């Protein structure tokens, strides 16, 4: 695949390593560096690429010429990813997304910026995936389902038709949200859970 974009991955742990592999082998982006906040800067190189302090990023890499992806897991209910995503945008960098070539997404699906959609995920017609969402491997998102901003779903999660997942939610592996069920913002659904009724802010 021809590379026509330069990418900085924010993070240097396991998710960053996974993101490097996917972006390198299955996207138009060339990964050129990693970045973490200065207080967590513990290595100088990863995959023979530099790891630089997030606070100094624009001193070395011109925001006009580089995109970014925040490869950080759902620490602090995904709010750490969200803070770094917004911080990189504020510096002027363009948010990148990754959608696996092994994902089946209908042409009518809406996907927002800075999303990461892994292999073998199925997203049916009319579904909407908003900004800064991670859908890990083998997820299923049903007809006209909605996943709001800053969510993180783990492997084999099922979001059924017409279900609505509020912002900042974390959906555990093998969890299922049934049809027409709505989740409030900031829900953390445990691994293997079956959610058959709405979860409101008051719950």
* Distance, CA of 5 to CA of 98 (rounded, Å): 13
Task: List all residues 6 or more positions away from 72 whose beta carbon is below 8 Å from its beta carbon.
Answer: 10, 11, 13, 15, 16, 80, 81, 84
Together in a domain, 121 and 89: no
Domain boundary among 74, 96, 118: 96
Together in a domain, 68 and 82: yes
Average pLDDT estimate for 55-76: 95
The three-class DSSP label of residue 99 is strand
Domain boundary among 57, 73, 96: 96
Together in a domain, 80 and 11: yes
Bridge partners, 139 (sequence order) = none
* Distance, CA of 139 to CA of 104 (rounded, Å): 10
Together in a domain, 104 and 69: no
Which pLDDT band, with edges at 50, 70 and 90, does 154 fall under? Answer: very high
Together in a domain, 56 and 102: no
Question: Any idea what DSSP says for residue 199?
Answer: B
pLDDT, tens digit (0-9, with 9 covering 90-100), for 99-148: 999 999 999 999 999 999 999 999 999 999 999 999 999 999 999 999 99
Together in a domain, 101 and 18: no
Residue 75 has pLDDT above 90, yes or no: no
Residue 76 has pLDDT above 90, yes or no: no
Residue 35 has pLDDT above 60, yes or no: yes
**What is the number of structural domains in the chain?**
2
Average pLDDT estimate for 150-176: 97
Residue 89 has pLDDT above 70, yes or no: yes
Say if 168 falls within a structural domain. yes
Together in a domain, 58 and 114: no
Together in a domain, 92 and 173: no
Together in a domain, 92 and 12: yes
Which pLDDT band, with edges at 50, 70 and 90, does 203 fall under? Answer: very low
Say if 202 falls within a structural domain. no
pLDDT of residue 149: 97
Q: Which structural domain, as residue segments, surrounds residue 46?
A: 5-96
Say if 57 falls within a structural domain. yes
Domain boundary among 96, 112, 144: 96
Say if 200 falls within a structural domain. no
pLDDT of residue 202: 47
Say if 198 falls within a structural domain. no
Together in a domain, 60 and 131: no
Say if 9 falls within a structural domain. yes
Residue 11 has pLDDT above 60, yes or no: yes
pLDDT of residue 77: 78
Q: Take residue 23 and report the two structure tokens written for it.
A: 């972006």
Together in a domain, 67 and 138: no
pLDDT of residue 104: 96
For residue 101, what is the domain's CATH number? 2.160.10.10
For residue 27, what is the domain's CATH number? 3.40.50.20
Say if 161 falls within a structural domain. yes
């Amino acid at each position: 695949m021809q590379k026509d974009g330069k990418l900085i991955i924010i993070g240097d742990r396991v998710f960053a390593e996974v993101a490097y592999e996917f972006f390198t082998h299955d996207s138009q982006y060339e990964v050129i560096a990693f970045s973490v906040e200065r207080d967590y800067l513990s290595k100088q190189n990863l995959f023979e690429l530099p790891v630089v302090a997030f606070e100094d990023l624009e001193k070395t890499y011109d925001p006009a010429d580089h995109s970014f992806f925040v490869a950080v897991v759902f620490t602090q209910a995904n709010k750490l990813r969200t803070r770094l995503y917004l911080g990189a945008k504020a510096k002027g960098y363009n948010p990148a997304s990754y959608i696996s070539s092994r994902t089946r997404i209908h042409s009518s699906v809406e996907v927002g910026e800075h999303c990461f959609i892994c292999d073998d995920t199925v997203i049916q017609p009319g579904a909407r995936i908003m900004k800064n969402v991670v859908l890990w491997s083998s997820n299923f998102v049903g007809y006209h389902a909605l996943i709001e901003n800053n969510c993180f779903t783990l492997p084999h999660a099922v979001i059924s038709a017409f279900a609505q997942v509020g912002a900042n939610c974390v959906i555990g592996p093998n969890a299922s949200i049934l049809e027409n069920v709505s989740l409030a913002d900031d829900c953390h659904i445990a691994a293997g859970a079956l959610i058959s009724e709405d979860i409101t802010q008051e719950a």
